[in-house]
Structure formats: structure tokens, C-alpha cells
Amino acid sequence: MSDGDLQMRSATSVAATDEPAIVFDRVGVSYGRGRKAAVALADFTLRVAVGETVALLGPSGSGKSTALKALAGFVRPTTGSVRLAGRDVTYLSPAKRGIGVVVQSYALFPHMTVHSNVAFGLKSHRVPRAEISARVAEALDMVGMGSYAQRLPRELSGGQQQRVAIARALAIKPSVLLLDEPLAALDAQLRHSMLGELQALRKALPDTAMLYVTHDQAEALALADRIAVMRESRLVDIDTAENLWQRPPTDFTAGFLGGANLVPCTVNHVTGTAALVTAGTSTLRVRAPQPAVGPADWAPGDDALLCIRPHTITVGKPGERDALRATVSASVWRGATTRVELAVDGLPGELAADVPGHFTTEVSAVVGVKLPDPAGVLIPRTIGETVAVAGHSVRPEIGS
Ligand code: ADP
Ligand code: MG
């Protein structure tokens, strides 16, 4: 037996005993009964490794909170099971799961001091009295709230209350921490600084698995090792943020993570991971990585969607070299950038471009548009039913 064989063996034996911190195994959740039953989570399978942070990202109503509640024990799965460190907890009471949970609304007891709020969870976890004060102090210090122990929640700002809620979740030293839109109730500036604090917290807790629910792509990108994209009760895509951004597997993820122009096109010619496509009457060079879902690989004649990121398009004067002639149909200043909607000669539908600064051009003005080279990345057309039917459309950038 060679060294290589030995290494293979030990790797497999570790994998067999080293259970993921969190497992959702084909979990389904329905609210209501009989004819009124509504599916909130369907066939949801996800594994989170020890120390890993996974963001559940999706629009409102896509089932993110339901997934989190199924794991915490606040709702009971209709089908499937949830496991923590290999142990099936599907029917265990929430308190016995030993999970830290932080929700959007802080949920502090208004009549109790910060100290008592954090101590509350420890008492219900039967931590010896003598240990409680030290554990409370340690948890409050982790979130920078050590000197606020005797305050009442109403004497704190929203951000401070959320820090206390996080301290309360951490005090029980959970191996699994669930956060459900913890920054959603805070104003934009505070959200930004809290995001930095959550990053620091994540580093300080290298063995804690985190499931972070958000509808904000910026939070998911900043915090998560992997992002699980949800849509209509289902998991659509899961991968590292980098992969989902660089080569989105589906049109939905392309639009939700970063915003995208999705232009219907036909593949002409493929060389490795590059291709030439026809979109409208234009021929474009594009990236064509092997699809994660759908066809095994790209071939001439395939129908596809070309994902062009709005920030990669430049808008200038008509007649410039390599510029396509286009007509401005709308223009909205957003501060750092202006979103310009364009009807481009030779391309189907409209394109959205995000140009730097305050771009002042009249609607129906003629401009020159330059696409990047390669123009974008190919996405299978068969996956996203809605877009394939409706022609191409720009998905809203959520959270911007
Ligand atoms: P998200 O957190 O992604 O916004 P939720 O998991 O809260 O979504 O909700 C998923 C779906 O389940 C939605 O259609 C929502 O209206 C429904 N839902 C959530 N909670 C309940 C409930 N307690 N009773 C009935 N329907 C619910
Ligand atoms: Mg929710």
C-alpha cells in the first residue's frame, strides 16, 4: 500500500466520524392543515461544517426564517430531519438543543437589566449560580457591552440592544449560532459598523457553526464562507460567495447576488471555457464555464442567457471605437452611481448600466455603450423558467 492510499484512508475515516455541526435532511415545513396547508419549506437539504458560516440569502417569504426555526425547534418539520453534530434533534424541545438564537427584534425582556437578560438563558440551561456572573461578564465583553450590565433595554440604542441579544445567545457557549436578519432593524450606518463587529466575532469563535439569515447580499458576502440562495421555499444554489458571483449557476442567483442583465443568446462556438455567442444581431465573446446545473457542457446551438453585470458596462459618446449605439430610456441617480437603462442597437431588450457618479443625460439621448470583453458569463436558459419566458430582464438589487 502506498502513502497515498494511507492518506486516503485516514481522510475517509475522519470524514466518517467528523459529523457536520448542522444537517438539514430533506426538511419540509407546512403551516396550517388540510386544504389550508401552505408549504413554507420544501425538500431543504443543507450541511454546515464545524466552524463554518453559511448565509441563507433570499427574498422575503422564501422560507429562510422557517428553516432556521425548524433547526431551533420553534416549528416542527412536516417531513425530513434536522441533526446537530450527528444527533437527530427533530423532535427535541428547543431548550434542549443548546443553540444560540438572535432575531431581528432583539426580544429582550424590557423589565430586566442587561445582566439579567443575559443571565436568563444560563439559568434555564442550569449553569451553576456561582458561574453565572462570570459567564455574563464574558459574553457582554465579547460584544463591547461590559459596562452596561445594570441598564434596562429601554436605556440602550437599537444597536446596543442587539449586542445584548447577541451576548445572551453567546453566553450559553453554543456550538451552533443562528442569526435571523440581526441587522435589519438598524439604520444603514450602524448596520455597517455592526457588520464589522460580527466579522470580528466570527473570528473569535472559530469552532462555532453559524447560520446567518439575510435578504441583504452585502451581509452575505461580508460574513459567509458559503451562501445558500433561497427562492419560493427551496434552496436554489449553494456555493462560495466567489463562485456564485463569478459564475452564477442560475439566472435567479445572478440577479439576486449583484444584479444582472440576462440577455438571451445562442452559442456559436466553444473553445475551452470561452465561447462566441449571438445575441440579437451582435456576436460577443463570453466566458463559458462548465454549468453547475443543466447541460453537461456548452455546445454550438445551445440557448443560453448572457449575464452582464451593470457595473461592467461603460457609457460614453456615440461613435467611439467599439461602442454600440444606444438610446437612454431611463436614468436614476443613486449617489455613488447612476443606473442608466439603455436600448442598445443590435441587442434584444434593454440593458442596465451602473455608471460612476451623477450621470446627467436626457431620456432618448443617443450614447455609445461599451461592453466588457468578455462581455459576461453564460448561464443555462432552461433553469430559470420565469426569465426564459419573459425575455431578458434586470433583477432588482436587493438591499441597495
Ligand atoms: P423569510 O424568512 O424568507 O422571509 P418565512 O420563512 O418567514 O420567509 O416564510 C415562508 C413562507 O411561510 C411565507 O409564505 C410566509 O408567509 C409563510 N409563513 C411564515 N410563518 C408562518 C406562520 N406562522 N403561519 C403561516 N404561514 C407562515
Ligand atoms: Mg424571515
CA 90 – CA 396 distance, rounded (Å) = 36
Distance from Cα 19 to the centre of ligand 1, integer Å: 30
Contacts (Cβ under 8 Å, ≥6 apart) of 257 = 57, 217, 220, 221, 227, 229, 241, 244, 245, 248
Q: Is 368 inside a domain boundary?
A: yes
pLDDT score for 51:
95
Q: Are residues 8 and 79 in the same domain?
A: yes
CATH number at residue 317: 2.40.50.140
Ligand 1 atom nearest to CA at 31: 25
Ligand 1: which residues within 6 Å by Cβ?
31, 38, 40, 58, 60-66
Q: Are residues 204 and 271 in the same domain?
A: no
Q: Is 81 inside a domain boundary?
A: yes
Cα 84 to Cα 24, 63, 67, 214, 253: the distances in Å are 9, 20, 14, 22, 28
Q: Are residues 236 and 266 in the same domain?
A: no
CATH number at residue 236: 3.40.50.300
Q: Are residues 331 and 309 in the same domain?
A: yes
Residue of the nearest CA to atom 15 in ligand 1? 61
Q: Is 119 inside a domain boundary?
A: no
Residue of the nearest CA to atom 14 in ligand 1? 61
pLDDT score for 382:
63
Ligand 1 atom nearest to CA at 59: 3
Q: Classify strands 226-231 and 234-240 as parallel, antiparallel or unpaired.
A: antiparallel
Residue of the nearest CA to atom 1 in ligand 1? 61
Distance from Cα 67 to the centre of ligand 1, integer Å: 10
pLDDT score for 100:
92
Q: Is 108 inside a domain boundary?
A: no
Contacts (Cβ under 8 Å, ≥6 apart) of 191 = 183
Residue of the nearest CA to atom 13 in ligand 1? 61
Residue of the nearest CA to atom 25 in ligand 1? 31
Distance from Cα 126 to the centre of ligand 1, integer Å: 33
Tell me which residue range forms the domain holding 63.
Answer: 3-99+174-246
Q: Are residues 232 and 267 in the same domain?
A: no
pLDDT score for 18:
78
Which ligand is nearest to the Cα of residue 67, counting in written order? 1
Q: Are residues 93 and 181 in the same domain?
A: yes
pLDDT score for 387:
35
Ligand 1 atom nearest to CA at 230: 3
Distance from Cα 214 to the centre of ligand 2, integer Å: 8
Q: Are residues 226 and 341 in the same domain?
A: no
Ligand 1 atom nearest to CA at 65: 2
Which ligand is nearest to the Cα of residue 56, counting in written order? 1
Cα 381 to Cα 264, 273, 352, 385, 390: the distances in Å are 8, 17, 20, 8, 12
For the chain of 400 residues, list the mean pLDDT of each consecutive stretch of 10: 42 57 97 90 97 96 97 96 96 92 88 95 85 93 93 93 92 93 87 89 93 95 96 95 92 90 96 96 95 84 95 93 94 94 95 94 93 95 44 37
Residue of the nearest CA to atom 23 in ligand 1? 31
Distance from Cα 31 to the centre of ligand 1, integer Å: 8
Q: Are residues 294 and 329 in the same domain?
A: yes
Q: Could you give the number of structural domains in the chain?
A: 2
Q: Are residues 66 and 213 in the same domain?
A: yes
